[in-house]
Amino acid sequence: MTVETLRTITPDSTSRKMIEEMSGQKVSDCFQCGKCTNGCPITFAMDIMPHQIVHLLQFGQVDNALHSDTVWLCASCETCTTRCPNGIDIAHLMDTLRQISKQRGIKPDQYSVSIFHKAFLGSIKRHGRVHETEMALTYSIEDAGWLGFLKLTGIGFAMFIKGKAKIRPSRVRAIKHVKNLFKKAEVHL
């Protein structure tokens, strides 16, 4: 039988307040009901459950949260946000943690997830919405090089023939507004 030693955690209210200020979410309101975790469709792949991330943030343990795969695996589906009885936008908290992680230069263990995140947002920034063909190509080349591109060509060609993959992206009418949103977001980072 092995005995684990308990680690003492000293709450850091300064870090908690910083997270609350950056995200606009009051993590101290969470009473750990677990509804966010129970509704999350991605928990099977997470190393720390969503309610545990919030618990870490309550104690100001931001670094522990930032080094978690969960931050990058979150699909931002907002099921957790919808289920929270205290109105905490947990999906937005995860997004805030991703932004802080990028600011601090913390590389995620899930390398491909951050590449996907970058390709997805880059496509929205350029076109006002996701252009799946461009995003898939960007992702596959950055993730696996030209070999990734070659693997994608067979599937991409079949989708193109069936009319499922568009060569030219459609744009939103108010593309300037989308670009302004990205500029404002970059200022706040």
CA 119, 146, 118: angle at the middle one, nearest 5?
10
Per-residue confidence (pLDDT) for residue 53, from 0 to 100: 96
3-state secondary structure of 172: coil
* Range 22-46 average pLDDT: 94
Which of 126, 120, 122, 134 has the alpha carbon at shortest distance from 166? 134
Q: How far is CA 148 from CA 26, 46, 139, 152, in A?
A: 42, 25, 9, 6
Per-residue confidence (pLDDT) for residue 52, from 0 to 100: 96
pLDDT: is 173 or 92 the higher one?
92
Question: Which CATH number does 13-103 carry?
Answer: 1.10.1060.10
For the chain, the structural domain boundaries read: 13-103, 111-187
Q: Which of 3-7, 76-80, 182-186 has the lowest mean pLDDT?
A: 3-7
Contact residues for 79 (Cβ-Cβ < 8 A; gap 6+): 36, 39, 40, 41
pLDDT: is 80 or 107 the higher one?
80
* Range 51-69 average pLDDT: 94
Per-residue confidence (pLDDT) for residue 1, from 0 to 100: 63
Q: Is the pLDDT of residue 189 over 50?
A: no
Q: How far is CA 58 from CA 73, 87, 124, in A?
A: 21, 15, 33
d(CA 114, CA 94): 13
Report pLDDT digits (tens) over 43-56. Answer: 999 999 999 999 99
